[in-house]
């Protein structure tokens, strides 16, 4: 039996961060991955392929807009297979960074198969080989949740794990679920010419975002896709033509629709069933492994990171958690996980960016003891020049200027919002960004203009103008 300092179960973003970090620092590491390649959901089915597809759809959309605005004609239809090839190429290119060879060279022992706990130090691989680990990290991620809709499992449907195997664009597409993945895919398919309907069970989309962001992104998306709110998909069946006949209940009324393809985007389900957690007594709550601030489970030598712990289900958060675990599990230097400065982005067009508290969160926590600063895209010269000026930036601070949250809807918000993340992470006040020189004209100028509002409020309201007026009069 082989013994390791650290066993990592799951070769996705979080697991690879732990394995590479621990091995690079001299620990003996075993990595167990059920698939033939490393990289996890993000590389093969999520972040990477979806962004490649979104980029292709955006190019098609921009070409169509240019033809409309500049009065020339486009001939033919966009080649859907070209977009799918781009997706595969992107995966293959990035796979090199997550290759088995790279991790083997780092000294990581790679095992392919399912890992199941025998006890708190021993893991059985594929019911055959047993390995021992002083510390063990669970990073098995999640998979698409398939809701119990009548007839759904009897017809062919798509999830994020099968979308990118499509050969042809569907003419009529239903997306069940109006979450980030569903909306990103819905808009992209619409840009390739699909007639897209989103069935969202709730009364709105982007329910976790700041209230000022929701109307903006809803209006933009509804220009391209049809969204049914308070819509429950009740039944799915195939007709003689192979089409999907779907019954949807909306506002107590049943309606029947016909589609060529269905994408199920109704949340995620954690991959915990085959771990044998019941064998060792690891606490689980609502399908997620319970962890403390150090990412330890109820058994102290076992850690859980990424989607599996239910805290912050994003790839970049899993990577951050992986770094915390390397520090805690390998060196025993206690470090707590902190999500206060961890943003997320929904990559629709325009993008939706979220950092920290929303205004409602701030009201609940601080009452009226906070400030908000807002700048619209149509007040920023670069967005105006680009003729892409739909959107808003909103920063929420304490009264002293320390940043509580920042939210945006706008073109490429995932890029220019990072300046605020940097400031918040380092405890800087929003006003500090006002002093940073930004080239003119840039999209990031919106961040500086928002910071300028802080100084405008400080300097031009209250007693300061009265004092400076007297000083200037005396000085002259």
The CA distance from 415 to 463, in Å, is 38
Residue entry with tokens 């594929």: 126
Assess contact for 445 and 382: CB atoms under 8 A.
Answer: yes
CA atoms of 169 and 152, how far apart (whole Å): 21
DSSP structural state of residue 442: -
> Can you tell me the distance from the alpha carbon of 259 to that of 247, in angstroms, rounded to the nearest whole number?
11
- Give start and end residues of each alpha helix (H) in 343-417: 359-366, 381-385, 413-416
Closest CA to 220 of 51, 443, 409: 409
Question: Which phi and psi angles does 142 have, rounded to 5°?
Answer: -140, 175
Name residue, tokens 């033509």.
241
Q: How far from 353 is each of 331, 343, 394, CA to CA, in Å? A: 35, 7, 10
- Describe the strand order of the beta sheet including 344-346 as a list of residue ranges: 344-346, 351-356, 403-410, 392-398, 370-376
Q: Which residue ranges are tagged as binding site for FAD?
A: 51, 115, 140-142, 307
Q: Are residues 190 and 174 in contact, defined by beta-carbon separation less than 8 angstroms? A: no
Query: Which residues define the annotated binding site?
Result: 51, 115, 140-142, 177-184, 200, 267, 307
Work out the number of other CB atoms within 10 angstroms of the CB of residue 246. Answer: 24
Residue whose tokens read 């490649």: 52
Q: Are 259 and 173 in contact (CB under 8 A)?
A: yes
CA 133 to chain centre: 32
The answer to whether residues 257 and 197 touch, using CB atoms and an 8 Å cutoff, is yes
φ/ψ of residue 340, rounded to 5: -60, -30
Asked if omega into 391 is within 30° of 0 (cis), the reply is no
Q: Which helix (H) or strand (E) holds 423?
A: helix 418-425
Binding site for NAD(+), by residue number, is 177-184, 200, 267
* CA 42/CA 91 separation, integer angstroms: 10
Residue 456 makes CB contacts below 8 A (sequence gap 6+) with none
Write the DSSP assignment of 278-346 as a string of letters. GGTT--EETTEE---TTSB-SSTTEEE-GGGGSS--SHHHHHHHHHHHIIIIIH--------TT--EEE
| Residue 237, helix vs strand vs coil | strand
Contact (CB, 8 A) for 141 and 303: no
């Amino acid at each position: 039996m082989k013994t390791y300092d650290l066993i990592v179960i799951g070769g996705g973003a979080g697991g690879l961060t732990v394995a590479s970090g621990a091995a690079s620092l001299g620990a003996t590491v075993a990595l167990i991955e059920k698939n033939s390649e490393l990289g996890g959901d993000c590389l093969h089915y999520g972040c990477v392929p979806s962004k490649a597809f979104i980029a292709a759809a955006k190019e098609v959309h921009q070409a169509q807009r240019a033809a409309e605005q500049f009065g020339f004609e486009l001939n033919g239809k966009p080649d859907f297979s070209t977009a799918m090839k781009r997706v595969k190429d992107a995966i293959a290119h990035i796979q090199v960074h997550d290759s088995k060879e790279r991790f083997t060279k780092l000294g990581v022992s790679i095992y392919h198969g399912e890992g199941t706990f025998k006890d708190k130090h021993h893991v059985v691989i594929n019911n055959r080989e047993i390995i021992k680990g002083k510390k063990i990290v669970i990073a098995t991620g999640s998979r698409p949740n398939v809701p119990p809709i009548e007839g759904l499992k009897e017809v062919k449907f798509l999830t994020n794990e099968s979308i990118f195997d499509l050969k042809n664009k569907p003419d009529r597409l239903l997306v069940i679920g109006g979450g980030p993945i569903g909306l990103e895919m819905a808009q992209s398919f619409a840009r390739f010419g699909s007639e897209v309907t989103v069935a969202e069970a709730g009364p709105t989309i982007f329910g976790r975002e700041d209230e000022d962001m929701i109307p903006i992104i809803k209006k933009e998306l509804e220009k391209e896709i049809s969204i049914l709110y308070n819509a429950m998909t009740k039944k799915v069946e195939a007709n003689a033509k192979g089409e999907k006949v779907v019954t949807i209940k909306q506002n107590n009324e049943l309606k029947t629709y016909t589609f060529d393809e269905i994408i199920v985007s109704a949340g995620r389900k954690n991959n915990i069933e085959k771990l044998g957690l019941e064998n060792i007594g690891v606490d689980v709550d609502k399908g997620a492994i319970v962890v403390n601030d150090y990412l330890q489970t109820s058994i102290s030598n076992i850690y859980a990171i990424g989607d599996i712990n239910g805290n912050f289900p994003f790839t970049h958060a899993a990577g951050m958690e992986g770094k915390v675990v390397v520090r805690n599990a390998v060196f025993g230097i206690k470090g707590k996980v902190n999500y206060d400065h961890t943003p997320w982005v929904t990559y629709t067009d325009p993008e939706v960016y979220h950092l920290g508290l929303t205004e409602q969160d701030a009201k609940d926590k601080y009452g009226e003891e906070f400030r908000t600063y807002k700048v619209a895209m149509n007040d920023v010269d670069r967005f105006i020049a680009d003729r892409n000026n739909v959107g808003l930036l909103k920063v929420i601070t304490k009264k002293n200027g320390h940043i509580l949250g920042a939210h945006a809807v706008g073109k490429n918000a995932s890029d220019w919002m990072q300046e605020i993340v940097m400031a918040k992470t380092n405890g800087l006040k929003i006003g500090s960004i006002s002093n940073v020189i930004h080239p003119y004209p840039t999209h990031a100028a919106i961040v500086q203009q928002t910071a300028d509002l802080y100084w405008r409020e400080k300097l031009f309201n209250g007693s300061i103008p009265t004092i400076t007026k007297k000083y200037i009069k005396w000085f002259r």
